[in-house]
Amino acid sequence: MKDKQFWLVTGIIAFIFLLYWIMGHPYLYEDRIVMLITMFLMGSTLMYNVRYAQMGGEFYLRPIPGLKAVEEAVGRSTEMGRPILYVPGIQDMDQVETVAGVIVLGHVAKMTARYETSLNVPVSRSIVMKAAREACRESYMIEGRPDMFNEDMVHYLTDDQFAYAAGVNGIMVREKPAACMYMGKFYAESLILAETGNSIGAIQIAGTASQAQIPFFVTACDYTLIGEEFFAASAYLSKKPELIGGVRGQDMIKAAVIVTIIFSIIIMTLYDNTGIGFDVSKLLTIR
């Protein structure tokens, strides 16, 4: 979208919202207005940074060892002549982590196509199987190696959590992949997978936003993408300016959140102890 078009669309949306507000904003949950405004502010910050990046603005991206290690892992597998095992979690495409996992899979597939390394992607949901296949197919096409793509490199095992863990463990023990990557949503099977991967001596990279599983991955894997790093993986790996801009926007919002927390603590402490100010928790609590 060009600058003129962008501001035109933004202006129209703002005008419609203003009109709606003047008309008495029917059907709006008034007690959620703070959240709505915050959401628009956050969205605007992201959009500003995306557009800034699209127009040639340059940003510094902190190197993330886990993402640098992805290429290293693919290279290691190539040298050893063993496959790469990629596990996109055990949840369906309605989970944003699974979508992020499939996106990272696309980047990994590009590397495997480039290095001519075999890729094995066992999945636990049929829809994920279809999405992952498409991502891999496109990656192999982009790299000019459609001949290397084989539909069965992405294959379905089972929907059941522990049956899936058993199936993946079996693949690990039999095929002994040189690299195992776990990117998606995980539950209790995370440690079963990561420890088996560790026992076969594979280089392991994990990425998840499942908070309870992060310690297990940190313990058993060589590299772990924690929370937001995982969601930023696509931007890092693709190096597309619009995605990198989004990461910068995310960091700016995080800084704003930290400042809000600090100011809220000060205001709340003042209010509780001296009665000066107002109850900021009432304003910030999501209803």
Closer by beta carbon to other proteins, 258 or else 277 = 258
Stretches 56-64, 76-84, 157-165, 277-285: which one binds other proteins (CB under 8 A)?
A: 157-165
Any contact of residue 260 with other proteins (CB under 8 A)?
no
- Which run of H or E residues covers position 122? strand 119-123
Compute the Cα dihedral for 62, 63, 66, 67 and give only its sign. positive
Compute the Cα dihedral for 77, 100, 89, 146 and give only its sign. negative
Closer by beta carbon to other proteins, 75 or else 227 = 227
Position among 10, 219, 281, 285 found at the interface with other proteins (CB under 8 A):
219
Any contact of residue 264 with other proteins (CB under 8 A)?
no
Position among 160, 259, 277, 278 found at the interface with other proteins (CB under 8 A):
160
Stretches 10-18, 57-65, 80-88, 98-106: which one binds other proteins (CB under 8 A)?
A: 98-106
What does the alpha-carbon distance between residue 248 and residue 233 come to, in Å, rounded to a whole number? 13
**Cβ-Cβ contacts under 8 Å for 176 (sequence gap 6 or more):** 82, 200, 202
Structure tokens at 260: 């809000």
Q: What's the closest the beta carbon of residue 208 comes to other proteins, in angstroms?
A: 9
Q: Tell how far CA 233 is from the center of its chain.
A: 6
List the interface residues with other proteins, window 34-93 (CB under 8 A). Answer: 35-36, 39, 42-43, 46-47, 50, 92
Amino acid at 235: A
C-alpha separations of 33 from 29, 80, 156, 283, 287 in Å: 7, 57, 44, 10, 10
Any contact of residue 205 with other proteins (CB under 8 A)?
no
Of the candidates 153, 148, 151, the one whose C-alpha atom is nearest the C-alpha of residue 88 is: 153
Of the candidates 185, 9, 22, the one whose C-alpha atom is nearest the C-alpha of residue 101 is: 185
Q: What's the closest the beta carbon of residue 128 comes to other proteins, in angstroms?
A: 9
Position among 188, 259, 265, 283 found at the interface with other proteins (CB under 8 A):
188
Closer by beta carbon to other proteins, 211 or else 274 = 211
Stretches 58-66, 158-166, 176-184, 271-279: which one binds other proteins (CB under 8 A)?
A: 158-166
Site string for other proteins, 116-145 (x = CB under 8 A): ---------xxx-xxx--xx-xxx------
Any contact of residue 213 with other proteins (CB under 8 A)?
no
What does the alpha-carbon distance between residue 160 and residue 43 come to, in Å, rounded to a whole number? 37
Q: What's the closest the beta carbon of residue 285 comes to other proteins, in angstroms?
A: 15
